[in-house]
Structure 1
């Protein structure tokens, strides 16, 4: 076999391929350099050489501008002969401005002999000329007529205006012409020979074709590019280029054509007006879009908004106004808009100084100099300004400069996006949150360093490792479902047992994008553990580890919904507070933990057990008949009560009481706990066995159910029906037959017709949170009753009304009640508000302020149940009350207990020394009445005088003493002297 040589076989083939690849690469680089650098430079250089050195195709030697005489026929009544005569006095000029006049213009001139071989043509190069008619002078031989609709005779249409052919004259020819114009026309007359004018016309057509083709091509290219890329700013730029083309066409005089089609002359004025207004709006819109970011920096955006609104006004005026009237409006409003743009461009150049602003400023300068030069020249009569710059050059230059501005803006935006991409990539790399991208099969496409460190992944694993390789089973399905929900959704997933991360927890967010899934991953293991701990603490007691009140309530709800019959045990430790007080809370806490351990040891695991708070525990005994539950609780009591609790070197003996209730399906949590608590309190009071059992249907259940129904009748912001008032007389011991004072008491008639006791009404109102509303009803009803029946109460000096403590400390109630007092101020002198001693001393400052406001309005204050508290004498001096109502417990038993007599006597003396009146409650027999009279009590209230009366009975009574039914009591009252009453005096 022949040798392959040193470069034969596979190695030689590989080297050959490398050489061909390198050769191909060098060729590509050469062609790239040639196309990017060499060819553009050659084209630019050759273009400059051609423009500078080579002659134009349609070169003309130029024309001669002729002097002429002109006048404006304001009356439109001159004949050719009369006009010729009048023109003899007109000055000779080289140009004549019509000043927007649309009346006939007469002018005369001498047409020279341009050439002895070809015809002489006299051109009237005005695009604003509408009609032209010429004669020879002085013979007035017609030469022809011309208009935008056609020509006749020796007239013809040339470029933007008209021309008269004089064939080959032998001598200069005098001429008389009459023309009409629209817009800011500048009349000039030029003489040509036929050949030169033809070249000039061809040059004119070539220029118009160049500008039209160039700008339209550029506009179409920009528009298509903008639509494909959805860049709406460049759509505006494309339309602006078309507007620039039309303005250039107007300046050159060929705007009567569009895409080689002739526009009807009648439509030209409207088209021109709309073109000017639309170009104004497009310029403002393009400016606003190009420099939207820069304008936020330099400010004055409101000024641009004003200029844009001016453009809308200009567009609206273009429809109704004639061309002659529209042009002045264009000068004024357009000038304002241009001034605004110049001002903003100056601010942009000063502050932003970007190349985009510079190019756009140059483009706008060219537009202002060229496109509007004729308008401004006509407005101010400056001929040099009107014909200073080539429209073709100006249009192309301004469009190219605007294109440069757009290109610069594109470059700046591309650079901005590139910087944003770099920042995003850097952020992607350094963010501490794991970021990833997966393909449609669940394999990793990329991941940031944080995710790779979190999962122990390498870059080489891209495309190989699946999502399920790192997470719990089913993680891929969970991720797919999450990616379809939206950006705000998130889930928590676990790690993989195979990778030893099963205990880890991850927070996952993901979205679906272009068949890929992109998302973020955070390791939230510690947070999850903390949340689980918080969830545990939310339903468990941190001391004993058992359920807390919330956990117990959830257990009761679950049991009530699922079980037909079950039991609830309420456990309370007796005199547990002594352990805390004598030996500290550590000892008490240890006892509580041991109690919980004993209960849990006695109850099997299916029971829900927890601590309600303090030394109270509850056990939900699932699916347990009441008899079986009672047996368990009996054994539990023995376990709790008989065995001491060892805490350090001390042993504590603790007794417990249990209330056990039988519960059924659907029982409410608050009802079950209330019944069990009631049974437990009964067990504590009985002290027999320490256990009280309530079976289904027991009287205690019915009683509590009635209480709960009463509470429910006090709904949210409403009071129950059936409320009414009764009044109990308060008799004066100094003038019993000359006064009729009483206390207003609350009653309620239930649905069964029975009267509910006031204690239950008050308790239900307090439990429902509507005690303030109830007190407001009592006060307002009482005041309304007093106002209605005041004439029937001549002997009444005060009417007592009780206020609950919850109402007195309710700021909303106090404001509402004082507003009510202002409505009834004339009768407030009869009102005496009773405040219990304990409530008054709860917030002494608030109470004193309340009393002062009541006194300022003329009402009175009485301290109710005085003597029942512990600190009355210490704080009494701070309360400026009008009366003390002595607690009835002292009064009722004073005849059988001499100590009570001494207490009552001391309280009466204290009241008198402080300038207050004394009122004894619960006076029920004659002996007590006599004792109170001897002590010196001012008023008495109780059954010895009268029970609570209907309101109508008060109105028919003569005095409080008239209610006494006992003859002995009546005889005693009659024996008393009748001095004048003082507590209710108007003073």
Structure 2
């Protein structure tokens, strides 16, 4: 558009007068552009080009309907979802920023809901995406029907929506959110002579002013996931002062600590004894556990530290640190670990599939080859079975260097038994979920006994986790399990406490536990035959 050109909207009857008014004072020859709207069965748009020389007005009209409508469509699609007509992520960010800019004129903070349809993927998988799309459009209409004019809906994923409650008190937004969840699931969606039942979960937050749009949506997503855990058709609501926001800030800070190639400061190791039931007073075996302290000196839950490392892609560096620190510690204290037959160390799924990690661990094993035979690498069963060929290759290489391999959480995977014959592991570590309720669940007892027998027949050792009381220990003992681990034996200990002990039984303080192992100890052989596969 050149100098002097103006785009205006007007009817044909007033076009000339408007152009004359707008062009008054212009130099001769300047153009003025007007978009003319004419009421016809299809509303049309015209471009008026006019030149005024002071005494005469020359005009031309051009039908630009197609171009105008295409431009409007592109503008709409830049901020809206083409399937439902809801806002897309760009439109969502723009709306949130506008709401924040207007916060001085608003009575209430911005309230954001994150809505997720439960098990919606089944509809797409079983009936096709065209059916799923039809259901999504109708879900969107039900959401819109419950909202007020100043509320907005955004589709952020296949079956996920964000709802923005502008200048709405949290209590009212919660009421509207529950109405939305109820409306979505109250009656089926009839499409192509079929009826589809859909349920939704929703997380609602009152966004603190210091949260960015992305952080606010992420917080609402977390609330939604909590709602899904509680059951279908639930909503979870957090006000702006909720502890959840402080917890998320701590999680983000933790993620930032795992941002480099090197593990963050504050890492240290603890060790939990694993007791041999054949020689409880003669063996000192244990599992190495990662621990971390924050900048304030307070302990960070291990699961959170590991999740942060996985999220930032630094879990392999963390696993390497644990492996190297453990091997170095064993090497330095070898003379004081004469009763230690194996030291278990966990390796994550990401590290197992990281060629660099596998190569670096091989170098570590060469450097500490004198103590590698004491090492037992634990691989989670589900990870091992996910890529059987890679797992078999890793097991062979680890065993070739002298270390042992245990399949951790055994029994949790539904394909365990058929594949077990192809994995030459040295031990099976029974999933603690089966062990902890073994006295109250005949089914769990049957599964545990089957795993113990399977390990024995395959020449492997069996290790039961989460042993927490004497009755559980006694039942496991009667089944013939080789090793036990859990709070009934000992909680995680510092390395110095491990070095000060002579056996795993030294840590037992419960007289009932001591009575069980002392009364039944004579039933077990005292030679090393029972442990040959772990040596």
Deviates more, 1:735-744 or 1:568-577: 568-577
Distance 1:932 1:568, change over 3 A: same
Pairs within 5 Å for 1:51-66: none
2:275 to 718, 725, 731: 731
Aligned match of 1:945: 489
Summarize deviations over 1:123-151 as a string: whole Å, max 9, x none.
xxxxxxxxxxxxxxxxxxxxxxxxxxxxx
Query: Matches of 1:868 and 1:467 in 2, distance apart?
Result: 83
Distance 1:502 1:775, change over 3 A: farther
Q: How far 1:896 sits from its partner (Å)?
A: 1.5
Aligned match of 1:612: 156
- Answering whether residue 402 of structure 2 is matched by residue 858 of structure 1, we say yes
Q: Secondary structure in 1 aligned to 2:487?
A: coil
**TM-score, structure 1 as length reference:** 0.45
Pairs within 5 Å for 1:816-895: 816-895=360-439
Query: Matches of 1:545 and 1:584 in 2, distance apart?
Result: 21
Q: How far 1:714 sits from its partner (Å)?
A: 2.0
1:919 to 463, 466, 475: 463
Aligned match of 2:357: 813
1:980 to 509, 522, 528: 528
Q: How far 1:501 sits from its partner (Å)?
A: 5.4
Aligned match of 1:650: 194
Q: How far 1:839 sits from its partner (Å)?
A: 0.8
Aligned match of 1:678: 222
Q: How far 1:642 sits from its partner (Å)?
A: 3.2
- Answering whether residue 204 of structure 2 is matched by residue 660 of structure 1, we say yes
Query: Matches of 2:29 and 2:288 in 1, distance apart?
Result: 79
Aligned match of 2:335: 791
Aligned match of 1:544: 84
Pairs within 5 Å for 1:294-693: 497-498=48-49, 503=64, 533=74, 540-549=80-89, 551-553=91-93, 555-556=95-96, 559-560=99-100, 563=103, 565-581=109-125, 583-604=127-148, 606-686=150-230, 690-693=234-237
Deviates more, 1:586-595 or 1:574-583: 574-583
Query: Matches of 1:604 and 1:734 in 2, distance apart?
Result: 71
Q: Secondary structure in 2 aligned to 1:769?
A: coil
Deviates more, 1:748-757 or 1:899-908: 748-757
Query: Matches of 1:652 and 1:596 in 2, distance apart?
Result: 15
Query: Matches of 1:663 and 1:897 in 2, distance apart?
Result: 45
Query: Matches of 2:184 and 2:516 in 1, distance apart?
Result: 61
Query: Matches of 1:806 and 1:467 in 2, distance apart?
Result: 71
RMSD: 3.2
Pairs within 5 Å for 1:93-108: none
Aligned match of 1:12: none
Q: CA contact under 8 A between 1:735 and 1:980: conserved in structure 2? A: no
Distance 1:891 1:530, change over 3 A: farther
Distance 1:542 1:822, change over 3 A: farther
Query: Matches of 1:859 and 1:603 in 2, distance apart?
Result: 62
Q: How far 1:901 sits from its partner (Å)?
A: 1.6
Query: Matches of 1:702 and 1:942 in 2, distance apart?
Result: 32
Summarize deviations over 1:456-484 as a string: whole Å, max 9, x none.
xxxxxxxxxx9976x969xxxxxxxxxxx
Aligned match of 1:765: 309
Query: Matches of 2:212 and 2:412 in 1, distance apart?
Result: 37
Q: How far 1:580 sits from its partner (Å)?
A: 3.8
Q: How far 1:800 sits from its partner (Å)?
A: 0.4
Query: Matches of 1:467 and 1:763 in 2, distance apart?
Result: 69
Q: Secondary structure in 2 aligned to 1:613?
A: coil
Aligned match of 1:304: none
Q: Secondary structure in 1 aligned to 2:81?
A: coil
Instruction: Please list every run of 5 or more consecutive structure 1 residues that lacks an aligned counterpart in the other structure.
Output: 1-440, 442-465, 474-494, 506-524
Q: How far 1:841 sits from its partner (Å)?
A: 1.3
Q: CA contact under 8 A between 2:280 and 2:503: conserved in structure 1? A: yes
As a proportion of its length, which structure holds more helix?
A: 1
Query: Matches of 1:918 and 1:747 in 2, distance apart?
Result: 26
Distance 1:811 1:609, change over 3 A: farther
Distance 1:503 1:832, change over 3 A: farther
Distance 1:553 1:916, change over 3 A: farther
Aligned match of 1:333: none
Q: How far 1:703 sits from its partner (Å)?
A: 2.9
Query: Matches of 1:981 and 1:733 in 2, distance apart?
Result: 13
Q: CA contact under 8 A between 1:563 and 1:664: conserved in structure 2? A: no
Summarize deviations over 1:609-628 as a string: whole Å, max 9, x none.
22222322111223333233
Pairs within 5 Å for 1:738-749: 738-749=282-293
Q: Secondary structure in 2 aligned to 1:838?
A: helix
Query: Matches of 2:368 and 2:121 in 1, distance apart?
Result: 51
Aligned match of 1:314: none
Aligned match of 2:54: none
Q: CA contact under 8 A between 1:883 and 1:916: conserved in structure 2? A: yes
Aligned residues, how many? 481
Query: Matches of 1:725 and 1:710 in 2, distance apart?
Result: 18
Q: How far 1:754 sits from its partner (Å)?
A: 3.0
Distance 1:662 1:864, change over 3 A: same
Distance 1:630 1:799, change over 3 A: same
Summarize deviations over 1:261-286 as a string: whole Å, max 9, x none.
xxxxxxxxxxxxxxxxxxxxxxxxxx
State the structure with bigger RCO (CA 8 A, min sep 6), 1 or 2: 2
Summarize deviations over 1:693-715 as a string: whole Å, max 9, x none.
21111233333333333223322
Q: Secondary structure in 1 aligned to 2:371?
A: helix
Q: CA contact under 8 A between 1:557 and 1:668: conserved in structure 2? A: no
Q: Secondary structure in 2 aligned to 1:779?
A: helix
Q: Secondary structure in 1 aligned to 2:412?
A: coil
**TM-score, structure 2 as length reference:** 0.81
Q: Secondary structure in 2 aligned to 1:775?
A: helix
Query: Matches of 1:875 and 1:530 in 2, distance apart?
Result: 59
Query: Matches of 2:530 and 2:503 in 1, distance apart?
Result: 16
Q: CA contact under 8 A between 2:427 and 2:534: conserved in structure 1? A: no
Q: How far 1:944 sits from its partner (Å)?
A: 1.6
Distance 1:626 1:504, change over 3 A: same
Query: Matches of 2:357 and 2:101 in 1, distance apart?
Result: 40
Distance 1:838 1:650, change over 3 A: same
Q: CA contact under 8 A between 2:201 and 2:227: conserved in structure 1? A: yes
Query: Matches of 1:721 and 1:908 in 2, distance apart?
Result: 40
Q: CA contact under 8 A between 2:489 and 2:508: conserved in structure 1? A: yes
Q: How far 1:496 sits from its partner (Å)?
A: 6.0
